Structure 1
Amino acid sequence: MERILVIDDDMELCELLQDYLGGEGFQIDAVHRGDLGAEAATSHPYELVVLDVMLPGLNGFDVLRTIRETSRIPVIMLTARGDDVDRIVGLELGADDYLPKPFNPRELVARIRAIQRRLEGSPGSHKVKPKAQAEYRVGDLVLNATNRTVKQNGQGVELTSVEFSLLEALLAHAGEIISREDLVEQVLGRQLSAYDRSIDVHVSALRKKLGHSYGQTERICTVRGIGYLYSLPEDNS
């Protein structure tokens, strides 16, 4: 049974999630303070964390920073509906996905299952799929899909699970344009919705970690109105 940690000071919501997610086969532990949640997330073997932004003790962003210092555990942020700033900040800090409150528990289960499929490498039914290849070498990067590691000029690069899956999709189709819709389906495991900037924030995070260019080549090109393209080195293009 998968263990999930819910960090939220809304006790009624936590009880609802314990009942609903318990019926879906998950074991749910709930913590109602940010400082206690950060301690629990970093000291116990949970498979996923559901994390509210507004918390006593530590806010959700500080909890996420603490988690990301030592762990790549998937984190779904709970944000106020319409608060784009909270969503963007959470994704930039390393959240895997977000869900605006109030939400239907069925939608949370769908997000959790999508993360599980991504981590298990399930091919799903997405339009764009990484080609059957264990290793990708493009420019200064080497991505190993088997042990989920990335090296840049021989040095390891720390990526979140979403960032790794996004980079794998881009490298698998280096030199080709991939639409935002297809990236969201493959990387986040859901449909792209209006005003959803999640994939754009994850691309921005990759650019910051890997550098915007290698040599004279722009690393990840934005194709306005369509999607993204990971550039091939100039001598290979």
Structure 2
Amino acid sequence: MSNPDQAASPSAPPRVVVIEDEPTITRAIADRLTAEGWEVSTALDGPSGVRTVAEVRPDVVVLDVMLPGFDGLEVCRRIQADEPVPVLMLTARDDETDMLVGLGVGADDYMTKPFSMRELAARLKALLRRVRRTTPPPTSETEQNVALQFGDLVIDRAGRRVMRAGVPAHLTPTEFDLLLCLANAPGTVLTREQLLADVWDWIDATGTRTVDSHVKALRRKLGADLVRTVHGVGYALEIPEDDLDEDGTLAEDPADISSLRTPADPPTSP
């Protein structure tokens, strides 16, 4: 088990907690990830899974939905409330409703059993790369107070906050990355494969349902009118007509995001 007082760095072996009640699957996952240089801790039920995550403070969690004690959804809620951590959820049912519920409680990705250990390892590596990405800080106080705005949608890039019609929306890290990816090319149709590459850092035809499920989660939290589906191609962020200039281009109207900040937020660096 890793020392929880030691924060992981990009050069340190990545830490993963596998919470799975089937010993055969647990052992197979642990063997594969250990062989690839991961530090692996395991738990066989919901309560011990929550405790293990708190003790190890892993870089990522592999979490089965069906667990004794309490299920994976409750585990996900508890560990995300304590200290958010990337979660890849395992489910025995290929049911989109279950997948959306998992995304809704904070999971970043999911796989349906049976699955390939090679694909699991690849997805975890991609998830870790996303987490370890760093964005250069804004160069001025003015840039810190500028956000993307489309109609009543405001996206605070630096603070990773989103507001729709004056109401804050609570997005998972992956949902925010997906929304920002679409918002960086407003009105442009991005294919599922492009989104998989840009948001998830991996390309696999079997992963397109992951994109679809996250888009549905975004619509549920931000409104069905926000993301347009182009059947057989992909998705685009809808731009309200009021945000377009006479020539059809996006109007330049930076948003003041001071309303997204709360007294509890840490002060920004000068």
TM, length-normalised to structure 2: 0.71
Measured after TM superposition, the shift of residue 211 of structure 1 is 2.8
| Aligned with residue 97 of structure 1, among 93, 109, 116 | 109
1:140 corresponding residue in structure 2: 152
Gaps of 5+ in 1: 124-133, 213-217
What's the secondary structure of 2:205's corresponding residue?
coil
Which structure has more strand as a fraction of its residues? 1
1:189 corresponding residue in structure 2: 201
| Aligned with residue 232 of structure 1, among 231, 239, 243 | 239
Identity of matched residues, % = 40
- Which has more radius of gyration? 2
Instruction: State whether structure 2 residue 174 is matched by structure 1 residue 162.
Output: yes
What's the secondary structure of 1:63's corresponding residue?
helix
* 1:81-120 equivalent positions in 2, closer than 5 A: 82=94, 86-120=98-132
2:179 & 2:29 partners in 1: Cα distance? 32
Alpha carbons 2:15, 2:39 under 8 Å: kept: yes
Measured after TM superposition, the shift of residue 162 of structure 1 is 0.9
C-alpha change, 1:195 and 1:109, in structure 2 (3 Å) is closer
1:121 & 1:113 partners in 2: Cα distance? 12
Gaps of 5+ in 2: 1-12, 136-145, 245-270
Measured after TM superposition, the shift of residue 56 of structure 1 is 0.9
* 1:36-51 equivalent positions in 2, closer than 5 A: 36-42=48-54, 44-51=56-63
1:143 & 1:22 partners in 2: Cα distance? 39
Q: Which amino acid aligns with 2:17?
A: L
What's the secondary structure of 1:46's corresponding residue?
coil
Alpha carbons 1:185, 1:192 under 8 Å: kept: no
Q: Which amino acid aligns with 1:231?
A: E
> How many residue pairs align between the two structures?
222
Q: Which amino acid aligns with 1:233?
A: P
C-alpha change, 1:4 and 1:107, in structure 2 (3 Å) is same
1:172 corresponding residue in structure 2: 184
